Structure 1
Amino acid sequence: MPSTETAPRHGDRAARDGSRPAGNTTVPGGAERALPVWTWPAVAAAGALALVLAAWFTGVSAARELSDPGALTRWGVPIVEYGSNMAMSVTIGALIFAAAILPPHTGGRAPRRRKDDPPAERLPEHPAFTRTMLVASVAAGVWTLCALAVGILSYSDLAGIPLGAGAAFSDGLVAYFVSISVGQAWFWVAVIAAVVTSLAVAVRSHSGLFWVGILAMIALVPLALIGHAAGGDDHMAAVNSIGLHLLGVVVWVGGLLVLALIAPTLVGPDGGTGRTTYRRQGSAPLVHTVLSRYSVLAGLGLFTVALSGVVNAALRVEHLHQLLTPYGGLVAVKFLAVVLLGLIGLAHRRWIIPQLRGGAGEDAAAEAPRPARRLLWQLIAVEAVVMSAVMGVSAVLSRTAPPKPEELPDGASPARILTGYELPPELTGARWFDLWRWDWLWVAVCVFLAIWYVRSTVQLHRRGDSWPVLRTICWILGLVVLTWATSGAPAVYGRVLFSAHMVGHMTLTMIAPLFLALGAPITLALRSLPVRTDDTRGPREWILWVVHSRWGAFITHPIVAGANFAGSILVFYYTDFFRFALEYHVGHEFMNVHFLLTGFVFALVMVGADPLPNRPPYPIRLVVLLATMVFHAFIGVAMTSSTGLMQADWFGNMGRPWGPDALADQQIGGAVMWGIGEFPTVAMAVTVAVLWALDDRKVAERYDRKAERDGDAELAAWNQMYSNLADQEDRHGRR
């Protein structure tokens, strides 16, 4: 554990504000730890220069012949959008650092206290944590102002009206925020940013910061919905690729900017732990610890940004010669910059970070090579400059017309108007398996989970631990089924045919979760992830927090899990939630996430091997499964025999020249729900019965072994008790 001698003294202002190492820790070449003096002026200049050059190249800032809003609006929109994106990235990056990377206190882990213990003196807050939360609150405030400014200026740009304080401008602005999707999106981004600003000032606990970070990331949703490609062909792929792109940016770019902003406080071994084994950690310089943890997130963010950017550009650029257009040129510049940043990140991970570990103990930081420390901050400064330039280009790119038109063509079919896609060909047996429309959000999730699972099992085998092959097969099979349900025929036909939608629904909530639960991912994570010893929460600590929380105990209660699993169907199909999922992309993805999670929790409670706060006894599980089967059968029969068409203005207006009519297809969907819903439930019931029998056998064997060891003392004690009772009855009878 790090020594408490490095904790800042209460009277030491320099130690508290992080301007020099705390306590007795001395690191030679203190100036080398800080960024070069030119960093932040260069960051601002690179962003401004890139934005101006991109605007000149594309002509987005040129005066219009008709309805020109003025130079202030033409230049103001990309400038404040650049500021909003930068501030949003820094805000979310700072919250991630505070919640999962930096130690909150000096002197290591805070001692655990029991309820009857006297109040203990709180450990001093770590200077790096303090500065990170200051960065988060200031950046969130800037984000709020910039988002509000984007909303106002975007209205001026859309309406072609210069900024003014007149009643007409104000009335139009209010209508824009209330009725127009772009205005609504920026309004909610500004509201979320304002709430995050207040919470960043007040919240300091790990769990609180977790929820503040989730709230901040919710702001990415409206931005993805109004993104450049969100209005064109393949709307769902465009929105998902933009959402993944934004997520990668805030993790990667935001994290690096935060790292640069808190650089002066990353000194000494205070709270810093480097991983020395898979299960334990030892003392290491804090800068090494922070960079090691951030490097993992940066790598994931880099791949997410690069791959989602390629997918998003492919939707707008159909031919290579279109890369010579203004839009294609900016895309090419962004791609080259991402490659350059990836090479710098690779240098960090392969060469610089390992050298920063130095020796062990309190003087670990002092033993890190000085050239490595100097090069570290120089490369980080270069990365920040390049990232700022890329963000400036991105602000202009979002306002540049792509080569492929985004408007609906004249004479669009009913299916195209309703779903955003042309009507697919008639559904046949072969097309259930050979027709795909990739949902890149779920593809990314499934690929990441597959790689993580296989890598974790390999890690266990390398250290001599075993992991059942059958669990690995179940997990991979579950991910394959999940990919098919979200990107295969159920996704292609799910908004055209009610029966195909029901196949996808039942697959998401009954089949894929069953295989995933049998893969025991929580157990694998707890066995493979390292344990942190510096009072921070890594992935393993967050998993344990969820498992042992009151919320975890509530949702895994068998009655709650069963009611959520079965009751969601009734609420979803017989309320406006169904229309919300059909019409809006957010509703569609929310439906996928909800049904997958409810199915996973239900399967985990019934047949899973992962740890739970309270594992229900086998009779209770069988009763819940029986009730679920009855409820599914009831809803399925109701849909099969119904003579009223659900969402008639959607399925009835699809204009299909093939297949059964909408009402007959709905009745087929009810039969699908009844059939597919019963088989997995019966399989889980059989599994529970088998587990019950195996558990009884284990208990019996355990009692047999105990009886062999003690000569069946327990049975002898019972026999003696009954004999004594019989003797007492005989004596009472004689009297």
Structure 2
Amino acid sequence: MTLRRTLLALLPALAVLSLLAVLAAEAAGGDNLVLLDAGPLARIGAPVAANLADLAAALTLGGAVVAGWLLREEADRTRALGIVAGAAAATTLARGASLTFSYAIATGQPVGSPRFGSDLGVFLATELGVWLLCGLLAAAATTTVAVLGTSAALARAVAVLSSVVAFSAAMTGHAAGDETHEIATSTMLVHLLAVGIWLGGLAVLQVLTDRSRDDVRVLRGYSHLALICWIALALSGVLALVVRMNTPAELLTSAYVQIGLGKAVVLLLLGLLGALQRRQLATGLGTDSEGRRALGTYRRLALLELALMGLAVALAAAMSSSPPPEEEGTPPAGTAGTLTGYPLPPAPDLVTVLGQWRPDPFGAALACVLLLLWWRPSAPPRPRGRSLQLLLGAAALVLLTSGPLNVYGKVLVSAHVLQHVLLLVPAGVLLGCAMTIPPRLRTLLEGRWPLAALLAAAGPLLLAACYISPPLLRAALDSHAAHLALQLLALAAGALIALAVRLAPAPRRAWVAAVPLLLGAAGGIALRSTERLLAASWFGATGRTWRADALADQQSAGTLVLVVVVLIALVAGGAALRNRGRRG
């Protein structure tokens, strides 16, 4: 089937899916006055625009991932990136329409009314407006980059940019400002990334030439990605629905929850189809009669899978354009509740701290993805020690992003600092020790220990800059997006330190490792000696009756940093002496 015929065949499908999105949104919205005030064009246009934006964004992300990591032929990558560029342009247009309809709904001004657009500047200054605008600009940037070439590196850059679009979309969820905001936005981000890679990748594979579309190596690589995405969708979807429900009775009374339940049923069917497809791949797509039969079955299952995923996206668009069940209960009391959205945790002691957990879906999903990619079917044999390092790094990531430090890090300087220090080392360093060194980084740094030392220092310096800058630190406390970004920065900084040390010449590795340790020691001393409280309007205003002296808590953070530095230095020194003894 030619690309033109494929696109023409998609138009009726898009119309049907958009109609389903509108009908589902009407059912979920009911007689909501906000939606009624926005007028019929916004009520109908919002789910249609959201549906088209989600489908186009999925095609962009999934197509870029397939082109950047799975396709080996230049002609295939060129074709895939052409589709990706068109999808990115469609995403930009749909995001623009979605912003327009969101403004109409938020302000109660029907599109085309005399006052429409009169306070657009005010709307764009709100959190919702900022993220909608960021998504629009990111989609436009993705379109621009996608037309610049056809290399694998460019495809990967497009995948990163389209992930930013998904990130922006995740930040516009309904739960902003309530106690489940962080969980809701994290699950939405995981959800959008997973469905994008799965749906978009499968769609792009279907428009390649028969030889490339049926390439067993490509299909097996994609099949493993699809399995990862299915697991991520299942976990994030269930958690996202649970945090928006007040009681199980809403399964029977809330149209919004029932649509979410319908999505879950579709996901189960998709899992069944995926299992059947993997069976066909195991049979082999050869040229004999059995292979041809398996190939035909695989193609039919792929088309059915695309149809079901389109239905799931339409239902998701309806949910994103409709209000969830109204929150029951009262918001968290006190200044801590106002600042963080959570109740003030109890005074920390050994027993109490161990019971304080706040699951972070993004950190858990990232750890799971790392493990599944590490043990993918096509992965090369790896030393047992590297696998152990990855396991320990992933476990540390989950513990630090979902455990007690994630709870107390919102109200204590010491917990906040310690969380990021431990994300840097051991979590980031362990992951960096396990990962394969990128060839370009090896070419750049191998034998150049001063450059390796500079790379090892870059991450800690950036992290310190975020703490020193009041606007950046306040943003990391106030915004879940910036909070995740700071955690990823700490994790990446640790991984870069490990890579820099591994690439340095053996006689100079101690010098390279010493650079971040010295920076850490300097940071600890600065925290202990300064009289200026970090983010005083936050950490000094949480209303704690325990550890009420925020400056003393900050000084204890400096002590903790110094303890970590000393422990890491001892461990690194012991490992170096042991290796020297073995060589001797």
TM over 0.5: yes
Q: Deviations over 1:687-717 (max 9, x none)?
A: 234434544x3xxxxxxxxxxxxxxxxxxxx
Is residue 297 of structure 1 aligned with residue 225 of structure 2? yes
Name the amino acid aligned to 1:204. T
Q: How far did residue 240 of structure 1 move?
A: 0.9
Output the CA distance in 1 between the equivalents of 2:378 and 2:581. Answer: 29
Relative distance call for 1:486 and 1:39 in structure 2 (3 A) is same
Name the amino acid aligned to 1:498. V
2:24 aligned to which of 31, 54, 58: 54
Is residue 375 of structure 1 aligned with residue 297 of structure 2? yes
Is residue 511 of structure 1 aligned with residue 426 of structure 2? yes
- Judge conservation of contact 2:25–2:318 (CA < 8 Å) in 1: yes
| Aligned CA-pair RMSD | 3.2
Is residue 394 of structure 1 aligned with residue 326 of structure 2? no
Q: How far did residue 416 of structure 1 move?
A: 1.2
Q: Deviations over 1:431-473 (max 9, x none)?
A: 343321111111122234345556789984xxxxx834x5544
Q: How far did residue 517 of structure 1 move?
A: 4.8
Is residue 134 of structure 1 aligned with residue 82 of structure 2? yes
Q: How far did residue 330 of structure 1 move?
A: 0.5
SS at 1:233's partner residue? coil
- Correspondences of 1:272-311 after superposition (within 5 Å): 286-311=214-239
Residue 87 (structure 1) aligns with: 56
Residue 555 (structure 2) aligns with: 667
Is residue 449 of structure 1 aligned with residue 370 of structure 2? yes
- Judge conservation of contact 1:435–1:489 (CA < 8 Å) in 2: yes
Residue 247 (structure 1) aligns with: 193
Q: Deviations over 1:230-272 (max 9, x none)?
A: 4432322211111000001101112222233x1xx4224xxx5
Aligned length: 582
Output the CA distance in 1 between the equivalents of 2:424 and 2:298. Answer: 48
- Judge conservation of contact 2:29–2:35 (CA < 8 Å) in 1: no
Residue 578 (structure 1) aligns with: 473
Relative distance call for 1:559 and 1:190 in structure 2 (3 A) is same
- Correspondences of 1:341-360 after superposition (within 5 Å): 341-351=270-280, 353-355=281-283, 357-359=285-287
In our comparison, the structure showing a higher alpha carbon Rg is 1
Is residue 192 of structure 1 aligned with residue 138 of structure 2? yes
Name the amino acid aligned to 2:383. W
Residue 337 (structure 1) aligns with: 266
Q: How far did residue 339 of structure 1 move?
A: 0.7
Q: Deviations over 1:610-643 (max 9, x none)?
A: xx3xx2342x333344555444333323322322
Q: Deviations over 1:200-233 (max 9, x none)?
A: 2222111122112211111111111111334432
Residue 451 (structure 2) aligns with: 557
SS at 1:633's partner residue? helix
Q: How far did residue 334 of structure 1 move?
A: 0.5
Residue 41 (structure 2) aligns with: 72
- Judge conservation of contact 1:229–1:315 (CA < 8 Å) in 2: no
- Judge conservation of contact 1:457–1:467 (CA < 8 Å) in 2: no
- Judge conservation of contact 1:517–1:600 (CA < 8 Å) in 2: yes
Is residue 440 of structure 1 aligned with residue 355 of structure 2? no
Gaps spanning 5+ residues in structure 2: where? none
Q: Deviations over 1:142-192 (max 9, x none)?
A: 1111110111111112111122285x4334224323x12222222222222
- Judge conservation of contact 1:605–1:616 (CA < 8 Å) in 2: no
Residue 498 (structure 1) aligns with: 413
Residue 117 (structure 1) aligns with: none
1:467 aligned to which of 383, 395, 409: 383
Output the CA distance in 1 between the equivalents of 2:460 and 2:380. Answer: 38
Is residue 153 of structure 1 aligned with residue 101 of structure 2? yes
- Judge conservation of contact 1:554–1:560 (CA < 8 Å) in 2: no
Determine which structure has the larger helix proportion and give its number: 2
Output the CA distance in 1 between the equivalents of 2:172 and 2:492. Answer: 27
Q: How far did residue 58 of structure 1 move?
A: 2.2
- Judge conservation of contact 1:80–1:149 (CA < 8 Å) in 2: yes
Relative distance call for 1:67 and 1:443 in structure 2 (3 A) is closer
- Judge conservation of contact 2:251–2:257 (CA < 8 Å) in 1: yes
- Judge conservation of contact 2:77–2:150 (CA < 8 Å) in 1: no
Gaps spanning 5+ residues in structure 1: where? 1-13, 20-33, 106-125, 273-284, 360-365, 461-465, 523-542, 698-735
Output the CA distance in 2 between the equivalents of 1:74 and 1:342. Answer: 33
Name the amino acid aligned to 2:232. T
Relative distance call for 1:445 and 1:69 in structure 2 (3 A) is closer
Relative distance call for 1:67 and 1:46 in structure 2 (3 A) is closer
- Judge conservation of contact 2:421–2:561 (CA < 8 Å) in 1: yes
SS at 2:327's partner residue? coil
Name the amino acid aligned to 1:78. P
- Correspondences of 1:420-431 after superposition (within 5 Å): 420-431=341-352
SS at 2:117's partner residue? helix
Output the CA distance in 2 between the equivalents of 1:631 and 1:588. Answer: 22
Output the CA distance in 2 between the equivalents of 1:689 and 1:102. Answer: 45
Q: Deviations over 1:411-443 (max 9, x none)?
A: 832111111211011100123433211111111
- Judge conservation of contact 1:337–1:390 (CA < 8 Å) in 2: yes
- Judge conservation of contact 2:524–2:562 (CA < 8 Å) in 1: yes
Name the amino acid aligned to 2:543. G
* TM-score, normalised via structure 1 length: 0.73
- Judge conservation of contact 2:393–2:430 (CA < 8 Å) in 1: yes
Q: Report sequence identity in percent.
A: 28
Output the CA distance in 2 between the equivalents of 1:636 and 1:92. Answer: 41
* TM-score, normalised via structure 2 length: 0.90
